[in-house]
Amino acid sequence: MKQALRDGCYKRFRTSPEVDVLTECEAERLSWPQRAARLTRRMCEAQQVVICPEEQIVFTQTVTKLPRIYGDAQTRVLTSGCKLHELGPISNICADWGMVLSQGLAVRQGVALATRERMKHDAEAVEFLDCAVETIDAVLNLARRYATEARRLGRLDVAQTLDQVPAHPPRTFQEALQALRLCHAVLWISGHYHCGLGRFDQYMWPHLEADLAAGRLDARSAEQLLAEFFLSLNKDSDLYPGIQQGDNGQSLMLGGVTRDGQPAVNPLTRMVLRVARGVGMIDPKINLRVTKDTDLELLELAARLTEIGLGFPQYSNDDVVIPGLVAHGYELEDARDYTVAACWEFSIPGRGMEVVNIGAVSMPAAVDVAVRDGLAAGDSFEGILGRVGVNLRNQVTQLVERYAHLLLPPAPYYSVLMDGCLERGRDLSQGLRYNNYGIHGAASSNAADALAAVKRFVFDEQSVSARGLLDAIATNYEQDEPLQKLLAEEGPKVGNNDDRADAMLVRLFDLFADACEAVRDNGCGGIVRPGSGSAMYYVWLARGHEGMNEPVVGAMADGHRQGEFFSSSLAPAPGVRVRGPLSVLQSYGKLNYRRICNGGPLTMELSDTVFRNPEAVHQVALLIRLFAHAGCQQLQINTLNVETLKDAQRHPERHRNLVVRVWGWSGYFCELDSAYQDQIIGRHIYGA
């Protein structure tokens, strides 16, 4: 099945004609919510039923193009004076899959109808609930069509599964996987994207536990079903939008604690890690919640998944994340229930209508402008830091103002899967328990290194003149190579546990947090959460990108030259010599993550030679534990072999299955743009 997926055999089923929803929407003069519901209905109806002989978990997308529900002119009128986020539809949130499975869509429909009766004099509520019911009917009809075809093919096992789910709560592990596969897939064909899978081992374990106890499944059979489910998530991913293929947000979370604070690791937690290693594909992206006391056996199992080079699990430190969320207004029980939205931003399943990535502040730009203007004006170093703070505040203000009139399109089907929407008679687009924004602080290490260099060489030692530094930066160091070398090689650098550089990093994020905390209301009744991720900005800020609002930054006071890549999320700047992983953890452990709570991983690349024997795997597990002991927030580890990567650039046909971590997601190396390939090859790799 995996080989067929990699060969693209499923694409032969993509024969369904393009769906025309716009014409009937216009003819019937449907409202926006009604059009969104009609889109879900018509897309479900248009799918051709595909059941391959070996499949136990079914659904294959056969319609490749998402139809429009408004024309260009209508869309301009509809969105006039407003801001749409990214592609427009609601994305990058996580449904409450546990609730959906425990109730089934028939019960969700009953909730909608009961609320409709109770609110029958509220026209807005009635319209929304009718739309929600239409989408539920669409999913249930799709399941019935699959059940009918399964019977025709003599696949009574599949037919009986689809007779039960997703209409009713699953009775078995297989039924739970099938219900999730179908309900999750309909989100994508409804126009949503970056659709998270949440705390998978929490809501799936009761179904597996019951099967194992009753003898309906043994561990091997369960792993086969889980492997097939994981494979199914890769089946249509080339159709999903993202910066690059693989950037699709199909992330799931493992471990942690329950809502009442009890340990949440269970046998399915470990099974997921084993099966993900065996499947070895880019989806789903695995995240693991840890603490400084997490069992080493579990960490070793996770390290063995890291070994094969998928770039996951990504680790989140409960000791840091949960207090940070509580400090930002989350109820303790909800904070304990956190997952990641798509890449790394924290979200509460079913309760968050949060736009966790409205953009990034360019820390290099904030520092570079402050250094240039401050040195030219004869400022003190504190004066330069003051300018940095002003620049960061201006960037945050501009981003928030850009989203001051955010327009979230109606999402009747997604609303069915969330807490409270059907009960309140209000669409997800009108908000949930948490309605916060998130902003990344991009390329922080380069920015901190630049400040540290200015403080040391210009102010403390006075070995470099302000004019000399300004002239060198202005000419991209072409006239002063010795100065560039001095700054790049001798300047204090983040990642070496050097307080001179680390203090600048801490100050930068404090200034960034100050700017975000100054926003009392984001316009949606929420706050602005600062984070430490960079996403694609480590490339965009250095080389530009079409439509990018953030400025391209050239030469900087840390010795960075124009066009060179910046640091990715929390990682030392490219080319920096660091003492080793311990010093990197110590540097980033100094940040106050109670203020920086939007997520953003400390990123490390390990040579594949590190995993040379079982003892080495144990050492990697200890590194993960050390990450938690150091008080860091998130960690992602990528296993790389530079020579293999270079050979893949020369001979991509030999390396079709080579997977790497790009930023908060993993993708096939040979399918990435050359800029991302080059940046990955140039990352600092820790050897054995």
Q: Encode pLDDT of 281-335 as tens digits.
A: 989 999 999 999 999 999 999 999 999 888 899 999 999 999 999 999 999 999 9
Instruction: Report in angstroms the alpha-carbon separations of 329 from 141, 204, 323.
Output: 41, 29, 10
Q: Is 88 left (phi over 0), alpha (psi -120 to 50) or beta?
A: left
**What pLDDT, on a 0 to 100 scale, did the predictor assign at position 614?**
82
β-strand 685-686 against 666-668: which pairing, if any? Answer: unpaired
| pLDDT value for 645 | 81
Task: Report the percent of the chain where pLDDT is more than 90.
Answer: 78
What's the pLDDT tens digit per position in 45-77? 999 999 999 899 999 999 999 999 999 999 999
Partners of 94 in beta bridges: 196
Angle, in degrees to the nearest 10, between helices 363-377 and 499-517: 100
Here the tokens at position 278 are: 């065996």
Give strand pairing partners of 602.
570, 635
Express as a percent the part of the chain with pLDDT over 70.
96
pLDDT score recorded for residue 396: 97
Side chain identity at residue 654, one-letter code: R
Looking at the predicted structure, is the pLDDT value of residue 388 above 60?
yes
pLDDT of residue 664: 62
If pLDDT is split at 50, 70 and 90, which confidence band does 672 have?
confident
- Which SS3 state, helix, strand or coil, does residue 603 take? strand
| d(C-alpha 505, C-alpha 446), whole Å | 9
Alpha-carbon distance 231 to 225, whole Å? 10
- The amino acid at residue 587 is S
The DSSP call for residue 547 is T
Q: How confident is the model at residue 575 (pLDDT cuts 50, 70, 90)?
A: confident
Q: Is the pLDDT of residue 667 over 80?
A: no
Residue 665 above 60 pLDDT? Answer: no
HSE on the CB side for 161, CA within 13 Å? 23
Integer Cα distance of 68 and 66 in angstroms: 7
Q: How confident is the model at residue 586 (pLDDT cuts 50, 70, 90)?
A: very high
Q: Identify the sign of the CA torsion 488, 490, 496, 497.
A: negative
| pLDDT tens per residue across span 475-496 | 999 999 999 999 999 999 999 9
* Residue 97 predicted with pLDDT over 80: yes
Q: How confident is the model at residue 610 (pLDDT cuts 50, 70, 90)?
A: confident
Sheet order of strands, 251-255 included: 251-255, 285-290, 314-317, 634-640, 602-607, 685-686
Q: Would the pLDDT of 395 be above 60?
A: yes
pLDDT at 524: 92
pLDDT of 641 higher than 80: no
Query: What is the chain's mean pLDDT, rounded?
Result: 93
Choose among 506, 485, 577: nearest CA to 363.
Answer: 506
In angstroms, the CA 154 to CA 370 distance is: 71
- The model's confidence at residue 687, banded by pLDDT at 50, 70 and 90, is low
Contact at 8 Å (CB) between 314 and 664? yes
- 334-368: per-residue pLDDT in tens? 999 999 988 899 999 999 999 999 999 999 999 99
596 vs 611: CA distance, rounded Å: 33
Q: Provide the pLDDT for residue 428.
A: 97
Phi, psi of 355 (to 5 degrees): -95, 90
Per DSSP, the three-state class of 673 is coil
Block residue for tokens 């970056």: 194
The pLDDT of 101-130, averaged and rounded, is 98
- The mean pLDDT value for 130-153 works out to 98
Altogether, the residues listed in the chain come to a count of 688
Question: 633: helix, coil or strand?
Answer: coil
Decide if pLDDT at 657 tops 90.
Answer: no
Using the predicted structure, report yes or no on whether residue 678 has a pLDDT greater than 60: yes
> CB neighbours of 229 closer than 8 A, spacing ≥ 6?
57, 177, 180, 181
Strand-pair partners of 91:
193
pLDDT digits (tens, 9 = 90+) for 210-258: 999 999 999 999 999 999 999 999 988 788 765 555 567 899 999 999 9
Picking from 627, 201, 327, 343, the residue whose alpha carbon sits closest to that of residue 335 is 327
Residue 668 pLDDT > 80, yes or no?
no
Report d(CA 414, CA 563) in Å as an integer: 41
Q: What is the pLDDT of residue 51?
A: 97
- More confident: 656 or 410: 410
| Helices 97-118, 123-152: crossing angle, 10 deg rounding | 130
Tokens 């890690």 locate to: 273
Residue 609 — very low, low, confident or very high, per pLDDT cuts 50/70/90?
A: confident
Sign of the dihedral through C-alpha 5, 162, 419, 97: negative
d(CA 107, CA 553): 54
Q: Which helix (H) or strand (E) holds 543?
A: helix 537-543
Would you state the torsion angle of the CA atoms of residues 510, 516, 519, 523, taken in this order, to the nearest 10 degrees?
-170
> In this structure, how many other beta carbons lie within 10 angstroms of the beta carbon of residue 263?
13
d(CA 629, CA 624): 9
Half-sphere exposure of 530 (CA within 13 A, CB side): 30
Q: Of 39-43, 475-479, 576-580, which gets the smallest average pLDDT? A: 576-580
